[in-house]
């Protein structure tokens, strides 16, 4: 009996050593407030030709993720998806969300917790009719719920060009909000930020509406949005040209869960020297009628030297941390930030594109941020050789899934994933 007990203890201790070694090798900190990488990054899809611009949403009922992206085929571009478990395992195979003649690009995805479904949106282009915004609902198990595309914004022909859509789901109102930038032709007729509410059944709820419009000389681009359940409101952010110095600044506006724009019409997030670009926003609901947003962006004082800055915004729409706080300000050109909030962990994860010093490699880097605006830990390299276009969603037990596209040394660009979070290994009691 004593020999058997000793052998069991040795086996358990060896297993624990292997687990801790794997955690250390992956860069994670066991039980830390910041979290870290969980295991190595993994390939999500290896379809032929280039796969780019992933987006990701978390399914709270099934504890899994849906990753979507566009695939560049000769002659057309399609939207595909892949389910990923909370442990990083692929669930089933990839599937087409929308495919065929025409080009579909820059997808985004939102999860509907009331009906256990997703809404995937994208920028659609057909020769002869121009650009439009399309969408499709996808079931929790990856089945298409719509026989044809939902046309969120019809083709503009030569009158207007909609593009770069983003989507979020209001659980209290049980509605989606899709936002996009829209340019009217010929210039200099303005570029503004537009919105459309979509019901859970896939129908358009009312007409499209203007969130922010250019009065002339101050076009708006690159919208993103996040939903704050504590107030049943969205915060929509965008970059806006300053007609004076001609640089770009970051602005925002709150929109009710039913799609009603709120006052003030424009909240100044960051206005300063140089260009502020590529805004992204996440929300964490807190006590009733409160909640918080964190807005991140590229800040460019000098060409070729982008930094990642941030600012918290209260549920009432009041910016904090004047004029901003720094997520990363290395001498490298850091670009394309993305962010997710995690209600259970009460923290954010910011990811962005990061050229690796003294190499030709381009990686994705991550940094956890507290609701108080403090950086948690020193951040970590998520992965990638020539990576870009990271997306992130918060999920199981305060973990996150980061998705990005990357170019291997041989082959096409593929979609990769990396889990981030904590894994705590409890000691075993042997008797």
**pLDDT at res. 163:** 97
**Pairwise pLDDT comparison (189 vs 153), residue with the higher score:** 153
Residue 90 exposed, middle or buried by CB count within 10 Å (0-12, 13-18, 19+): middle
- Asked if pLDDT for residue 280 goes beyond 90, the answer is yes
- When pLDDT is cut at 50, 70 and 90, the band that residue 304 belongs to is confident
Region 392-401: mean pLDDT is 94
233-241 vs 248-256, strand pairing mode: antiparallel
Residues 6+ apart with CB under 8 A from 215: 190
7 part of a folded domain: no
348 part of a folded domain: yes
Region 377-405: mean pLDDT is 95
Region 357-372: mean pLDDT is 96
- When pLDDT is cut at 50, 70 and 90, the band that residue 187 belongs to is low
pTM score of the predicted model:
0.90
- When pLDDT is cut at 50, 70 and 90, the band that residue 320 belongs to is very high
- When pLDDT is cut at 50, 70 and 90, the band that residue 423 belongs to is low
**pLDDT at res. 15:** 39
Residues 6+ apart with CB under 8 A from 306: 277, 298, 299, 300, 333, 334, 335
**pLDDT at res. 58:** 98
- Asked if pLDDT for residue 12 goes beyond 60, the answer is no
- Asked if pLDDT for residue 425 goes beyond 90, the answer is no
**pLDDT at res. 3:** 42
Number of domains in the chain: 1
Tell which residue, 196, 208, 57, has the closest CA to residue 138: 57
428 part of a folded domain: no
**pLDDT at res. 291:** 97
84 part of a folded domain: yes
What is the extent of the structural domain holding 128? 33-421
**Pairwise pLDDT comparison (26 vs 149), residue with the higher score:** 149
1 part of a folded domain: no
**pLDDT at res. 426:** 40
**pLDDT at res. 53:** 98
Residues 6+ apart with CB under 8 A from 238: 181, 193, 212, 220, 221, 222, 223, 224, 250, 251, 252, 279
Q: Integer distance in angstroms from the first to the last C-alpha of the chain?
A: 11
17 part of a folded domain: no
- pLDDT tens digits, 20-57: 333 333 333 334 678 899 999 999 997 888 999 999 99
CA angle 353, 358, 359 (to 5 degrees): 65
**pLDDT at res. 20:** 35
Region 146-152: mean pLDDT is 98
- pLDDT tens digits, 97-111: 999 999 999 999 999
Residues 6+ apart with CB under 8 A from 117: 111, 137, 138, 139, 140, 145, 200
- When pLDDT is cut at 50, 70 and 90, the band that residue 245 belongs to is confident
The CATH number linked to 339 is: 2.120.10.10
Provide the β-strand partners of residue 34.
none
8 part of a folded domain: no
In the chain, the percentage of residues whose pLDDT exceeds 90 is 79
Cβ atoms of residues 327 and 311 within 8 Å: no
**pLDDT at res. 23:** 38
42 part of a folded domain: yes
- When pLDDT is cut at 50, 70 and 90, the band that residue 391 belongs to is very high
Residue 328 C-alpha from the chain's centroid = 18
Distance CA 410, CA 281 (A): 35
Region 287-293: mean pLDDT is 95
């Amino acid at each position: 009996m004593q020999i058997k007990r000793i052998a069991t203890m040795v086996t358990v201790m060896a297993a624990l050593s292997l687990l801790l070694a794997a955690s250390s090798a992956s860069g994670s900190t066991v039980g830390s407030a910041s979290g870290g990488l969980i295991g190595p990054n993994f390939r999500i899809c290896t379809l032929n030709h280039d796969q780019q611009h992933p987006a990701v949403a978390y399914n709270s009922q099934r504890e899994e993720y849906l990753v979507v992206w566009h695939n560049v085929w000769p002659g057309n571009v399609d939207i595909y998806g892949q389910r990923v478990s909370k442990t990083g395992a692929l669930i089933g195979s990839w599937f087409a969300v929308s495919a065929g003649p025409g080009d579909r690009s820059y997808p985004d995805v939102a999860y509907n917790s009331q009906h256990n479904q997703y809404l995937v949106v994208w920028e659609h282009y057909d020769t002869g009719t121009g650009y439009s915004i399309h969408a499709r609902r996808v079931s929790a198990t990856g089945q298409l719920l719509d026989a044809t595309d939902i046309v969120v914004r019809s083709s503009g022909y030569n009158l207007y060009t909609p593009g770069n859509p983003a989507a979020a789901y209001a659980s209290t109102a049980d509605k989606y909000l899709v936002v996009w930038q829209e340019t009217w032709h010929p210039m200099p007729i303005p570029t503004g930020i537009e919105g459309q509410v979509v019901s859970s059944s896939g129908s358009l709820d009312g007409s499209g509406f203007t969130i922010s419009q250019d009065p002339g000389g101050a076009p708006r681009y690159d919208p993103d949005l996040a939903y704050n359940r504590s107030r049943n409101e969205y915060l929509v952010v965008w970059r806006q040209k300053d007609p004076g110095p001609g640089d770009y600044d970051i602005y925002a506006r709150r929109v009710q869960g039913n799609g009603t724009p709120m006052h003030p019409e424009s909240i100044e997030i960051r206005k300063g020297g140089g260009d502020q670009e590529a805004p992204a926003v996440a929300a964490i609901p807190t006590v009733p009628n409160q909640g918080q947003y964190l807005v991140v962006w590229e800040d460019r004082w000098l060409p070729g030297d982008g930094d990642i800055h941030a600012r918290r915004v209260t549920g009432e729409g009041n910016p904090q941390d004047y004029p901003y706080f720094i997520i990363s300000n290395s001498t490298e050109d850091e670009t394309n930030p993305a962010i997710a909030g995690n209600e259970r962990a009460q923290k954010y994860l910011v990811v962005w594109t990061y050229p690796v010093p003294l190499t030709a490699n381009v990686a994705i880097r991550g940094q956890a941020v507290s609701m108080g605006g403090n950086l948690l830990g020193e951040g970590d390299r998520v992965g990638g050789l020539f990576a870009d276009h990271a997306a992130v969603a918060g999920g199981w037990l305060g973990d996150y899934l980061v998705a990005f596209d990357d170019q291997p040394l041989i082959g096409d660009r593929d979609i990769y994933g990396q889990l981030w979070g904590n894994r705590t290994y409890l000691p075993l009691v042997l008797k």
